[in-house]
């Protein structure tokens, strides 16, 4: 069975953003063809669940992924980190075979 995990830091950020927004079920994570390595992550708000969506919850926060992206994201941990002056969601995806030099895209 497919699984996505959410770190405590990511869960806090998801909850914070949804509270500021005033609505939403969770963070929607997907992939799209992009970049020099093949795919990039796409983030949006999940306001409702579509029939082909899968929902994963950890630490009181939810991540929603459509079935088409789930094969590439299975086993991924969604984290929220500080890198220098930037704060961002980071994906620890065991399916990634290669990443581009700038870190913006990946291949599976």
Q: What is the pLDDT of residue 104?
A: 64
Q: What is the pLDDT of residue 33?
A: 87
| Residues lower than pLDDT 50 in the chain | none
Length of the chain measured in residues: 108
Edge-to-edge order in the sheet of strand 53-58: 53-58, 61-66, 26-34, 38-46, 106-107, 98-99
Tens of pLDDT along 79-89?
999 988 999 99
Q: What is the pLDDT of residue 98?
A: 75
Q: Where are the domains of the chain?
A: 5-96
Pick the CATH number of 5-96 from 2.40.420.20, 2.60.300.12, 1.10.1370.40, 3.20.20.80: 2.60.300.12
């Amino acid at each position: 069975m497919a699984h996505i995990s959410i770190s405590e830091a990511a869960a806090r950020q998801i909850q914070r953003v949804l509270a500021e927004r005033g609505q939403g079920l969770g963070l929607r994570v997907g992939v799209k063809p992009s970049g020099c390595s093949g795919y990039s992550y796409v983030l949006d708000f999940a306001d409702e669940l579509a029939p082909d969506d899968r929902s994963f919850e950890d630490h009181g926060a939810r991540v929603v992924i459509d079935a088409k992206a789930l094969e590439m994201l299975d086993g991924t941990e969604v984290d929220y980190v500080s890198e220098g002056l930037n704060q961002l969601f980071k994906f620890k995806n065991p399916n990634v075979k290669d990443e581009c030099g700038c870190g913006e895209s990946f291949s599976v």
